[in-house]
Structure 1
Amino acid sequence: MFQKLEIFQVAHAMATHAGRLQVVAAQNMANADTPGYQARDLTAFKDTLRLDGSKDAQRATRTSHLNGTRNEEEIAGRAKVTLDKNAQSDPNGNSVAIEDEILRAVDAKRQHDRALAIYRSSLTILRTSLGRS
């Protein structure tokens, strides 16, 4: 029943993206002492949403509307792991900064919590519209 509602698909895609972001941060932290390791980053969730007006895109009627596709696997598949271009290397060639990775992990948790809040709120609205509390 919920598979056809776009808000649930976008919330699921956002939670999946947050999980992948947490994995990237954990991998970076695990390799913080590996010589020559380059820190990785994940494409931001907002950049993975389709904004090109294709038939899959949601229609925005206000500037505050979220634009995206209907298929969360497609959204999650567009998030690419890349080398972190802002990271500076140590003398041994390692570019991982633990402080940055901690902030990345906190950002992933916030994004996951936001996705769950969207899901819960949408579920409450759906239940209310059906007359169930």
Structure 2
Amino acid sequence: MFDKLEIFRMASGLAKHAGTRQAVLARNIANSDTPGYRAQDVADFDRTYRGSDTGTQMRATRSGHMAGREMAHAAQNTDRADPEEPNGNTVSVEDQMLKAVETKRQHDLALAVYRSSLGILRTSLGRQR
């Protein structure tokens, strides 16, 4: 029922993106002592959700990027090797924790947008919570 309303698709997409990014950040932290491990991250949500004219349509940037309506957030190596690290590991636990806090805020925003939109929809139908 709600899958045709753009605001619900956007909130759902943001929540999925935040979950995917949290998983990648957790994997980075888990491998913070692994020699040669390169930290990864996912593309920003606005880049994956940007549209052509209206700004609300998703856009595939390469083949296999999106399967149907699902967003695929491929992990990308984003951090450069730190010359001070002799084992070649590029994970900075502090940076990963800051990114995790930012991602939690995005997830909280997605839930707030969803709740607010659901409340507006219920009110327009004449229903109370």
For Structure 1 versus Structure 2, the TM-score category normalised by the shorter chain is: 0.7 to 0.9
Q: Given the superposition, is the C-alpha separation of residues 80 and 25 from structure 1 closer, same or farther in structure 2, using an over 3 Å criterion?
A: same
Stretch moving more, 37-46 or 84-93: 84-93
Stretch moving more, 43-52 or 114-123: 43-52
Query: Mind listing any 5+ residue stretches in structure 2 that lack a counterpart?
Result: 59-65
Partner residue, 2:79: 85
Identity, in percent, stands at 50
Q: Does 2:93 match 1:98?
A: yes
Describe the superposition over 1:66-88 as per-residue Cα deviations: whole angstroms up to 9, x where unpaired: x22279x64622x3311013563
The answer to whether the 8 Å contact 2:11/2:114 transfers is: yes
| 110, 117, 121: which one aligns with 1:122 | 117
User: How many angstroms apart in 2 are the aligned matches of 1:96 and 1:40?
Assistant: 9
1:123 alignment partner AA:
L
User: How many angstroms apart in 2 are the aligned matches of 1:83 and 1:26?
Assistant: 15
TM-score under structure 2 length normalisation:
0.84
Describe the superposition over 1:26-71 as per-residue Cα deviations: whole angstroms up to 9, x where unpaired: 0000000000000001100010013223xxxxx3xxxxxxx22279
Partner residue, 1:63: none
Q: Given the superposition, is the C-alpha separation of residues 36 and 43 from structure 1 closer, same or farther in structure 2, using an over 3 Å criterion?
A: same
**Count of aligned pairs:** 120
Partner residue, 1:69: 57
Q: Given the superposition, is the C-alpha separation of residues 94 and 46 from structure 1 closer, same or farther in structure 2, using an over 3 Å criterion?
A: same
User: How many angstroms apart in 1 are the aligned matches of 2:111 and 2:69?
Assistant: 20
User: How many angstroms apart in 1 are the aligned matches of 2:120 and 2:20?
Assistant: 28
The answer to whether the 8 Å contact 1:49/1:75 transfers is: no
The answer to whether the 8 Å contact 1:39/1:87 transfers is: no
Q: Given the superposition, is the C-alpha separation of residues 12 and 87 from structure 1 closer, same or farther in structure 2, using an over 3 Å criterion?
A: farther
